Amino acid sequence: MKCRKCGDTAALELRRHNAAFCSPHFIEFFRKQVREAIRQHRMVTTEEPILVAVSGGKDSLALWDVLIEEGYATAGLYLDLGIFDYSVESRAKCEAFASARGQRLIVERVEEAMGAPIPVVQKVTRRPTCSACGLSKRYLMNRAALAHGYAVVATGHNLDDEAATLFGSVMHWQTDALPRQSPMLPSTHPKLARRVKPLYRLSERETAAYAFLRGIDYIVEECPFARGATSLAHKEVLNRLEEASPGAKHNFLFGFLEKARPAFERAEGVTLVECASCGQVTTGTICAFCKLADHVKRAAPS
């Protein structure tokens, strides 16, 4: 198979684009997609420093790499979930990445904020692990952005992540979740950072290929709590559709964003207030993170 641009041996075939690229031209393609995502959704300006949430995995480190290469001022934010060897290894990957590129890495520990690491949270609450983890991440990302003066947080969500989330929301007709699914969530409160997903145009396989071809040392092993997660089942269904019909995932997500999402946007915006306990933004009196932390503190063995 030959590169569409130069005719050299291709490194990756992109069936949904009916194209194949050699390594240098694939990297060029990848960066162009990120630039297009940022431009189309006005995610950030070139002067604006970006806090990049990194996990040590392929997506977030690929994102950080491309933003650095595009000339943005960045810092990484690693959230230490306290998941045994997995967290130790993933943190080491982030530290090595940051050190090699002269970038700042901010580390926040879930245990410090929540009173217990994620494995204990999983044991003492009835929430699915990924749900409690996701809630903690969103909370800590926003808190860290405010504390360190960043107006925008970038995450490594890719096309597959977004399509699988959309699939899950549609499967359960979570109509309140649909308008919140967007490549860019603007700040709607002075204490709420803007959240952007510059990789949403790129598939999971493409971010993995970019990380590999750029020589990024990322953690290949999956989080032990992710096994059996519903999102993985949704991804498998979507990948079977993709195999039969290249472009299916792209059409599903982009069709939603362009044609359907506006129909689900709320007629009235929600009112945001500050949590009576921690001061972070919430829609209730006490935010979900503080409620969860309180539950953990009461239930966890001292």
- Which 99-118 positions form the footprint of another protein (CB under 8 A)? none
Applying CB under 8 A, does 6 fall inside the site for another protein?
no
Strand partners for 80: 109
CA distance 79 to 109: 6
Of the pair 99, 230, the CB lying nearest another protein is at 230
Instruction: Tell me the closest approach of the beta carbon of residue 81 to another protein, in angstroms.
Output: 11
CA distance 198 to 155: 8
Strand partners for 104: 75
Instruction: Tell me the closest approach of the beta carbon of residue 43 to another protein, in angstroms.
Output: 15
Instruction: Tell me the closest approach of the beta carbon of residue 185 to another protein, in angstroms.
Output: 6
Amino acid at 73: A
Number of residues binding to another protein, judged by CB under 8 A = 73
Applying CB under 8 A, does 148 fall inside the site for another protein?
no
For the chain, state the CA radius of gyration: 19
Binding mask 206-245 for another protein (x = CB under 8 A): -xxx--xx------xxxx-xxx-xxxx--xx--xx-xx--
CA distance 22 to 28: 10
Applying CB under 8 A, does 195 fall inside the site for another protein?
yes
Which member of 31, 109, 205, 214 binds another protein (CB under 8 A)?
205
Instruction: Tell me the closest approach of the beta carbon of residue 24 to another protein, in angstroms.
Output: 13
Residues whose CB is less than 8 angstroms from the CB of residue 136 and which lie 6 or more positions away in sequence, other chains included: 79, 81, 110, 113, 114, 118, 121, 289, 292
DSSP 17: G
Applying CB under 8 A, does 129 fall inside the site for another protein?
yes
